[in-house]
Chains A and B, each alone.
Chain A
Amino acid sequence: MSLLAGQILNGIATGMLYALMGLGLSLITGILNIPNFAHGALFAVGAYLLVTLVGAIGNFWIGLVVAPLGVALLGLLIEYAGIRRLYAAGHDYQLLFTFGLSLILAEGIILIWGPVGISHLPPAILRGGMDLGFTFYPKYRLFVMVVAGLLVAATWLFLEKTRYGAIMRAGIENKEMVSLLGIDIHRLFTAAFALGAYLAGIAGALTAPIRGLSPGMGVDMLGIAFVVVALGGLGNLLGAIAAGLLIGVAQAVVAAYWTEASTVVIYAVMAAVLLVRPQGLFGIR
């Protein structure tokens, strides 16, 4: 029983990270109509920036704040200097652009940080674990669970309760109408991409001490992020959160009883849900 409880805790921690990834991707895909293949690479850049910053200034907390902002800035540049120029060229070109970008970013990581992976320990205060009664659990994972949970909640509140969030949601529903109402749609696109990149960047930064860093780390995450978007329903933010948690917990619980299947369960859950609800958990299209 305590094993199952521990596994569910693991599932929630990883599920929160999946939700952050899925939320960002869902936002970008929903508003810009582009499946952002560079989303995994942005996740990796977030992790590498964190480790570099912590190495340079010796402070994890500053690194955790600044690194995702760096990724958001990168996202802003990608949209402003790249994707924006391709709106006229059509959908396929934007898709190829993000795909190419993912390769460039991964190779860029190899050029700057080398092909061999890196370990990064959590800050001293979050090292080691604590006894929760039913299981011994690493402090850093509990920290990730809380921070990721707060970020997911903050993003959701921003999108649901603020004026700008309402514009973004409107952008997902109907871009033509939004631009007819006198809103600068291009600024909206840039902001959405930057916000999505920020969420990928902070997911990467938070993951660094857990999974370590390697140039291919983004590829592993990209597939999962797409599953979260498909499962949650395209452009559906609540769906992305629920799907992230569902996959994380399913993966952890299955691993408790049938370890060989712990990866395939991600895709099995997706297939099962899509068979019953082709539009995703909460999706409308």
Chain B
Amino acid sequence: MSKLERRDILKIGALAATGLAFPAIVRAQSKEIVILGLWDQTGAFADVGPLNDRGMRMALEERDMKVLGRPIRYVTRDGATQAGEGARFIVGPWSSGVALAVSEVAKRKKVVHLFSGGTEDISGSRCHRYSFQWAASPYTAAKTVVDNFMKANPKAKRWHLLVADYAFGWSVEKYVKEVGKTHGIEFVGADRHPLGEREFSNYVQKAAANKPDVVAMINFGGDAVAGAREIFNFGLTPKLPLIMSWSSGVEELVQLAPEIRDNLWVGTNFYYTADTPVAKSFVKSYQAKFKLPPGYAPSAAYSMTRMLLAGFDKAKSDDVQAVVKALEGLEMNDIVGPMRVDGATHQTLRPYFFLRCKPKAAMKHELDFADVVATGDAPLPKEYAACKDIGSF
């Protein structure tokens, strides 16, 4: 038996990291309309991709997989793999960083691209005619969270920030600080952590040493859950309030024990008790299928797909440029309430939700995580707008 050398282990590790390649997508038949759902199956958002897929499927199935009287072929691929042949309509992926790359490809290949996420560049400095942003602008989110939190906690002026170190975190951080100025907030610390961080004890000790009135996290998914848990373990919450500024809502909250959710304030793009007719019927059928109510990820995929289909309806065509024109200025009353796609930036103008979690004793049932304290839809002010000219086709 040959001995295994250390070098072999290193080689094997590198091999494992490169992952597997997937075959290219089969070309579509002419009658079908191919819609590609680019959902993460690997990497930091591997747990989110399947949820996106659920939401998108439900939006297509409620139309019997048809639009303009023609069958829809729904193809789903991992956000990290090569995709594209044949599909002229792309929804996703979840990661802001990867989505920016997909947006560049959409521009070059002239295909419609719908995205929901925390980077402001898609409807900002890197805007173009083919990509659309469903999530609220990071400014809208920051404004909703900071204004409403300060209204409830006017004395909490010393803020410590924990920020995910990539496009999404930076965008939201910038506006939390801008909006914070108007409230006289002092940012006593702002630590950035790598995406996928699981060891938060080090950050929490630093935060505690700054003696803040509140800790605000600008991170997402597993990072936010791990952070909230450790902030509780170190005894900061529930004495201090904790803010999750851009949360997935249900999927994050359900991972936290009720004790950890005590004095937790949450900003999110969607919460399942949203009082809109579309949300009510979507939540009902989603919950019937999957038990847990939908959080931000499935809801965004659901609503983006409905938006795209509404674009087809309005354009009465599956011509890419006709659909783009139809989406520009499109108004819908969808799951979050009234939404309008700004034709000048491709940013969706829509309400953002701010929640306060309930202490264990106040919960009516185990999914009764929080009350919607407020919604806000303040659009990005002109002086911050980075999308000066969205350009031509």
Contact = CB atoms under 8 A, between A and B. Distances in A.
B6 A234 contact: yes
B97 interface: no
B188 interface: no
B319 interface: no
14 contacts: A35-B4, A91-B4, A116-B255, A117-B222, A119-B257, A119-B260, A121-B259, A136-B234, A209-B233, A214-B47, A216-B222, A220-B198, A255-B206, A279-B6
Nearest to B201: A10
Interface string A94-132: 010001000000000000000111111110000011000
Closest 7 CB pairs of A and B: A255-B202, A117-B255, A10-B201, A259-B191, A263-B194, A119-B257, A6-B205
Contact of A216 (B6, B10, B47): B47
B202 A252 contact: yes
Contacts of B4: 29, 33-35, 91, 234
B206 A262 contact: no
Interface string A210-238: 11101111001001001001100110000
A17 B196 CA distance: 19
B5 interface: yes
Nearest to A270: B10
A175 B1 contact: yes
A270 B225 CA distance: 29
A141 B201 contact: yes
Interface in B255-298: 255-257, 259-260, 292
A256 B292 contact: no
Interface string B190-217: 0111101111011101101100000000
A7 to B, nearest CB: 6
Interface in A112-170: 115-122, 128-129, 135-138, 140-141
A3 B205 contact: yes
A74 B191 CA distance: 41
Interface string B54-84: 0000000000000000000000000000000
A116 B254 contact: yes
A236 B14 CA distance: 22
B202 A262 contact: yes
A252 B206 CA distance: 11
B328 interface: no
Interface residues of A, number: 64
Nearest to B255: A117
A280 B6 contact: yes
B247 to A, nearest CB: 14
B9 interface: yes
B381 interface: no
A121 B256 CA distance: 9
A260 B202 CA distance: 12
A209 B10 CA distance: 32
A84 B4 CA distance: 17
Contacts, number: 148
A262 B3 CA distance: 34
Contact of B234 (A116, A129, A211, A230): A129
Nearest to B292: A116
Given A37-B16, A119-B257, A264 B194 contact: yes
B96 to A, nearest CB: 17
B46 interface: yes
A121 B261 CA distance: 12
Contacts of A137: 234
B229 A119 contact: yes
Contacts of B197: 262-263
Contact of A259 (B6, B46, B203): B203
B30 interface: no
Contacts of B2: 33, 91
Contacts of B256: 119
Given A35-B12, A230-B6, A216 B1 contact: no
A181 to B, nearest CB: 16
Nearest to A279: B6
Interface residues of B, number: 48
Given A141-B233, A229-B9, A263-B197, 15 more contacts: A6-B209, A35-B9, A35-B13, A37-B16, A116-B251, A135-B205, A138-B235, A210-B201, A211-B198, A211-B199, A212-B255, A255-B199, A255-B202, A262-B197, A283-B6
A13 interface: yes
Contact of A263 (B1, B196, B257): B196
B50 interface: yes
Contacts of A37: 16
A214 B222 contact: yes
A121 B257 contact: yes
B9 A230 contact: yes
Contacts of B16: 37, 99
B233 A95 contact: no
Contacts of B255: 116-119, 212, 214
Contacts of B5: 234, 285
Interface in B307-365: none
Contact of B230 (A3, A6, A176, A210): A210
Contacts of A263: 194, 196-197
B387 interface: no
B220 to A, nearest CB: 13
Contacts of B203: 255, 259
B211 to A, nearest CB: 12
Contacts of A280: 6
B47 A285 contact: no
A14 B9 contact: no
B226 interface: yes
Contacts of B260: 119, 121
B147 interface: no
B186 interface: no
Given A234-B9, A263-B196, A115 B202 contact: no
Contacts of B205: 3, 6-7, 10, 135, 256
A232 B344 CA distance: 58
Contacts of B233: 122, 129, 138, 140-141, 209-210
